[in-house]
A and B are shown apart, each in its own frame.
Chain A
Amino acid sequence: MTTAPPGAPQRRATSPRSTDRPAHRRGRPMTASRRANRAGLAFVSPTFLVVLVVVILPILWTVLLAFQDAKLVDIQGMGLFGNWSLDNFAQIFGSAGFWSSLGTTLIYTAGATAGSVVLGLIAALALRKPFRGRGLLRAAMLLPYVAPVVAVAFVWEVALSPQYGVVNDWGRRLFGWDDPIAFLSTREYEVSLLGMHFDIPLALLTVIAFECWRYFPFAFLFILARLQAVPHGLEEAALVDGATHTQRFRYVLLPQLMPVIALLCVLRFILTFNKFDDVYLLTGGGAGTDIAAVRVYDFLTARYDVGAAAAQALVLAVSLMILLGFYFKFFGNKVQEES
């Protein structure tokens, strides 16, 4: 029983190659590898079909639509090809709104990515060693990530409301704020620090904070898993050599964590760049939070301008690919060397 299985398939795999019985070979329908090929293709085909119909074909069609003058009303009668034009792109690149929205998207994505990964790293380091109630806290910390975005966005909206929100009420009581702060609808909030006045994009920062809060558990999970796989000997050796806490982190732990952190940054960057729900639900894209995904949605549903929406989505996807291309060109190899 224990010896037979490893031997048997080898014999099966080599037998087609043995040429001593060619007549028999013609009778045999398929070799093992061909059978595996058939079975593999058959098993993958449902997935492939769904992805093809609902993802790949729509993407290709978006590319076509982006080069056409297509409004939702007349798209019914329109053929797949026709009225080629570059009007959509001319319109997009010519409008100031697009460039500012691309800038906002970049700030939003970079801020949310960095924030959530750093917070996740801090959380993983704090929860590394066991303590009473760690399991419970670990589970509770995943709540922001698993809870429905609509529900948590609504809670934030209510909590930050200038009229009935808990944050403004406590702010007035504890910090003596004179006026309630409309976190989600203030484009620029004037802060004076050491006699200087700054304008900070409050709504954008609030949205970034929300994003960090919602996605740090994701980073936390991955970093904690990696952290627990770091061999103890490494740190003990550093300890014996007299390395302090910060030195052990900087020179022992961080290099070990770098690959997973880099992976998380790339993942979070892609997912946040394409994110629509969070900003739409919190601010509706107003008050300086007009990220590109929300702009595409507006073009589609408010103006029914399918062509312009498609063109913008396409430009968005291409800029993401260019950014990722740069990343892999300049940093991809380095990360691999470190790992």
Chain B
Amino acid sequence: MTRKAALSRAQFEERFFGVLRWFVIAFLAVITVLPFYYMVLLSVKPIDALLLDPGSLWVSAKDFTVSTYRDVLRSTDSGGQGFVKFLLNSALVSLGTVLLTLLAAVPGAYAISRLKFFGHRQVSALFLAVYMFPATLLAVPLFVIFAKMGLSSSLVGLAIVYVAQTVPVSIYMLRNYLVTIPYSIEEAAAIDGCTRLQTVRKVILPLALPSIMATGLYVFMIAWNEFLFALLFLAAEPGKWTVSLGLAQLSNGIEVPKTILMAGSVVLTIPVVLLFFAAERLLTEGLTSGADKS
């Protein structure tokens, strides 16, 4: 009797969770994909069509338009929103950040993973402590220092702040990869007469390339998406706005139609999403490596 009851409970649960699983999967698919579908949808609609029927989830052939994109990309002189300029600014800051971050993080990660130097135990904890402090706490003095140095509205200043924000996580990601490279390879190089620098450049760098690329992509995404420091440093100068900042500033007003701004969000989102899909495996492994062996 009890045996039968237990079995039926097991069977019931098996069936119940079998069905529930598909509901959960469908729900997850809807909540993650729908907002992005909605974003693209509104970006190819004229504003009248949106106001007329806010609930429609498709666009009719006669309403379909790409003029929103033309409007958002055109320079402000010719009546657009000047997003091309913003894109350029964002690209400059992000690429600069990636370059500088990797320049600092690759040697740093190598040292932390391989070399026993004074304080090598404390240093990674110190770097990770960066994330303990609220960005707003840094924002106050950085705002003042940069105002003093005349860097307060420059893209260079912004890139420096981003480097400091991304170097610790880059070191963490790179280090996780570097520890998997066998030490004997380096010893072989040393025996062949390589100096430390040569070993890093000719042996470690090529081997760690996948991880370096993943880290670079991740840094690019952080820099491209960043908002607070861009707002603090660049808000007063529309010519230097990044895409994120430009979109946020324009969406506060009511002059620009929402559908045009939606085109702006698509333009802002596409680079990161493309990069992400190009390197999804690399990235997820780079981020979570170490999580599975706790």
A residues neighboring B (CB under 8 Å): 1, 4-6, 8-9, 33, 35-44, 46-48, 50-51, 53-55, 57-59, 61-62, 65, 72, 75-76, 122-123, 126-127, 131, 137, 139-144, 146-152, 154-159, 163-166, 168-170, 173, 213, 217, 221-222, 225-226, 228-229, 242, 244-246, 259-260, 263, 270-271, 273-274, 276-277, 280-281, 293, 296-297, 300-301, 306, 309-310, 313-314, 316-317, 320-321, 339
* Cα-based distance from A274 to B135 in the complex (angstroms): 7
Whether, in the assembled complex, B201 has its beta carbon less than 8 Å from a beta carbon of chain A, the answer is no
**Cβ proximity bits B14-50 to A, threshold 8 Å, 1 near / 0 not:** 1011000100110011011101101100100000001
Instruction: With CB as the reference atom, state the residue of chain B lying closest to A123.
Output: B28
Q: Which residues of A contact B117 (CB under 8 A)?
A: 36-41, 44
Question: Given contacts A50-B167, A55-B130, A309-B136, could you give 10 more A-B pairs where the C-beta distance is less than 8 Å?
Answer: A5-B188, A9-B190, A44-B117, A137-B28, A147-B36, A148-B243, A152-B35, A244-B14, A276-B136, A316-B136
Contact of A47 with B104 in the complex, beta carbons under 8 Å: yes
Q: Which residues of A contact B1 (CB under 8 A)?
A: none
B residues neighboring A (CB under 8 Å): 6, 9-10, 13-14, 16-17, 21, 24-25, 28-29, 31-33, 35-36, 38-39, 42, 50-51, 53-55, 57, 103-105, 107-108, 110-112, 115-118, 120, 123, 126-127, 130-145, 147-148, 160-161, 163-164, 167-168, 171, 184, 187-188, 190-191, 196, 221, 224-225, 227-228, 232, 243-245, 247-248, 251, 258, 261-262, 265-266, 268-269, 272-273, 276-277, 280, 284, 287-288, 291-294
Contact of A151 with B136 in the complex, beta carbons under 8 Å: no
Contact of B111 with A158 in the complex, beta carbons under 8 Å: no
Contact of B141 with A61 in the complex, beta carbons under 8 Å: yes
| Chain A nearest Cβ from B88, distance in angstroms | 16
* Cα-based distance from A306 to B232 in the complex (angstroms): 13
Q: Which residues of B contact A164 (CB under 8 A)?
A: 50-51, 54, 258
Contact of A43 with B228 in the complex, beta carbons under 8 Å: no
Contact of B139 with A297 in the complex, beta carbons under 8 Å: yes
Contact of A225 with B288 in the complex, beta carbons under 8 Å: yes
Contact of A314 with B247 in the complex, beta carbons under 8 Å: no
* Cα-based distance from A326 to B118 in the complex (angstroms): 31
Identify the interface centre among B9, B10, B13, B141: most chain A CB within 10 Å of its CB.
B141
Given contacts A46-B108, A51-B167, A164-B50, contact A146 B276 (CB under 8 A): yes
Given contacts A46-B104, A150-B227, contact A140 B33 (CB under 8 A): yes
Q: Which residues of B contact A141 (CB under 8 A)?
A: 28-29, 32
* Cα-based distance from A169 to B42 in the complex (angstroms): 15
Instruction: With CB as the reference atom, state the residue of chain B lying closest to A136.
Output: B29
Contact of B292 with A59 in the complex, beta carbons under 8 Å: no
Among B143, B148, B164, B294, contact of A50 (Cβ-Cβ < 8 Å): B164
* Cα-based distance from A300 to B232 in the complex (angstroms): 10
Contact of A9 with B29 in the complex, beta carbons under 8 Å: no
Given contacts A126-B24, A140-B32, A151-B39, contact A281 B227 (CB under 8 A): yes
Contact of A44 with B107 in the complex, beta carbons under 8 Å: yes
| Chain B nearest Cβ from A309, distance in angstroms | 5
* Cα-based distance from A310 to B112 in the complex (angstroms): 33
* Cα-based distance from A193 to B262 in the complex (angstroms): 37
Contact of B141 with A58 in the complex, beta carbons under 8 Å: yes
Contact of A62 with B258 in the complex, beta carbons under 8 Å: no
Contact of A309 with B107 in the complex, beta carbons under 8 Å: no
Given contacts A5-B184, A50-B163, A155-B35, contact A173 B55 (CB under 8 A): yes
Contact of B108 with A47 in the complex, beta carbons under 8 Å: yes
* Cα-based distance from A221 to B251 in the complex (angstroms): 32
Q: Which residues of A contact B57 (CB under 8 A)?
A: 166
Contact of B123 with A48 in the complex, beta carbons under 8 Å: yes
| Chain A nearest Cβ from B271, distance in angstroms | 9
Q: Which residues of B contact A139 (CB under 8 A)?
A: 277, 280
Secondary structure at the A interface, as helix, strand, loop or mixed, is helix
* Cα-based distance from A310 to B13 in the complex (angstroms): 55
Contact of A213 with B225 in the complex, beta carbons under 8 Å: no
Among A4, A75, A127, A321, contact of B191 (Cβ-Cβ < 8 Å): A4
Q: Nearest 6 CB-CB pairs, A to B?
A: A40-B117, A169-B55, A40-B115, A54-B164, A274-B134, A43-B111
* Cα-based distance from A146 to B107 in the complex (angstroms): 27
Contact of A123 with B132 in the complex, beta carbons under 8 Å: no
Given contacts A37-B118, A58-B145, contact A155 B225 (CB under 8 A): no
Contact of A277 with B142 in the complex, beta carbons under 8 Å: no
Among B28, B227, B288, B291, contact of A149 (Cβ-Cβ < 8 Å): B227
| Chain B nearest Cβ from A80, distance in angstroms | 11
* Cα-based distance from A9 to B276 in the complex (angstroms): 42
Instruction: With CB as the reference atom, state the residue of chain B lying closest to A165.
Output: B54
Given contacts A36-B117, A150-B227, A154-B265, contact A259 B294 (CB under 8 A): yes
Among A6, A166, A228, contact of B54 (Cβ-Cβ < 8 Å): A166
Contact of A221 with B116 in the complex, beta carbons under 8 Å: no
Contact of B248 with A55 in the complex, beta carbons under 8 Å: no
Given contacts A54-B163, A242-B10, contact A314 B136 (CB under 8 A): no
